[in-house]
Amino acid sequence: MALCEEENSASTLSFMELAIQQANDALDNLEVPIGCVFVLDGKVISTGRNRTTETRNATRHAEMEAIDDLLKNWQDNGLSAMEIAGKFSKCDLYVTCEPCIMCASALSILGIRSVFYGCGNDKFGGCGSILSLHSQGKGFECTGGIMASEAVSLLRRFYEQGNPNAPKPHRPLQISK
């Protein structure tokens, strides 16, 4: 995992900016503010943000959302599995937080080329923090620390400004009526 804040190119920063926008969208929708974009040949081909609250499915991370869109679009356009594998091998992911162990495995299964992330994930990180799935088997290039403070401040806002979905210290009340 390379930290290269000073040599981040303008395009790297602009793609991460878009990922941050996705994270912002998650925040507006009371979701954990993590967002991502997939980039192929210099163009954003898919975006995603956390959707775990809405779906009640704790695996619906930003990466999984964006991957589903990609797979559907490519197959709607008639691409074969082999062609899709070829596309993934030229894809880069920009995500505001280090992919968790599940997502890092998924990215390895898809054979993505590289991942650029913002802040680290010291509880669940699969790209160096807990496991290093990017450097095992069919791995991928991984660069962290890009606009990390922006990513962190979004998460901090989420947790500190009184998350309405926060677990209450006592048995949850019936809020929806």
Partner 1 sequence: MTTMKKWEIIHIPVKPQISIMDPPCVDVVAAVIEPKLANTLIRRLNQTSPLENLTHVKRVRKISVEEAPQASFTTYANSGINSHLSSLMLSNIDGITGFSEEDSQTVFSFMKLALKLTNSGPQLENAAVIVDPSVRKIISSASDQTHSWHSPIDTSSIETRCIKHPAVVTSYQPDANGAAVVSDENKRLDTDVSCLYPWKWMEHQQNTGKTCYFHPLRHAALVAIELAAARDKHLYPGSGNMLDHSFQVNSLTSSIDSPAKKQKLDFSKDKNDSDLKACAHDSCFETERPYLCTGFDIYLVWEPCTMCAMALVHQRIRRIFYAFPNPNFGALGSVQRLQGEKSLNHHYAVFRVLLPEDVLDHAPS
In the complex, the residues that contact Zn ion under the rule CB under 5 A are 61, 100, 103
Residue pair 127/154 in contact by the 8 Å Cβ criterion: no
**Backbone φ and ψ of 48, nearest 5°:** -160, 155
Calpha distance 79→69 (Å, rounded): 14
CB of 4 to Zn ion, least distance (A): 23
Known catalytic residue: 63?
A: yes
In the complex, which residues of this chain contact partner 1 (CB under 8 A)? 3, 31-32, 34, 50, 52-59, 61, 64, 67-69, 71-72, 75, 80-82, 85, 97-98, 100-102, 105-106, 109-111, 119-124, 126, 130-131, 133, 138, 144-145, 148-149, 152, 155-156, 158-160, 163-172, 174-177
- What pairs with residue 94 in β-bridges? 37, 116
CB of 14 to partner 1, least distance (A): 21
Calpha distance 7→83 (Å, rounded): 33
Query: What is the bridge-based pairing of β-strands 35-40 and 43-49?
Result: antiparallel
User: Residue 54: which of partner 1, Zn ion, none does it interact with, CB under 5 to 8 A by kind?
Assistant: partner 1
Which is closer to partner 1, CB of 42 or CB of 82? 82
CB of 148 to Zn ion, least distance (A): 17
Q: How far is CA 166 from CA 31, 37, 99, in A?
A: 11, 27, 23
**Residues with catalytic roles:** 63
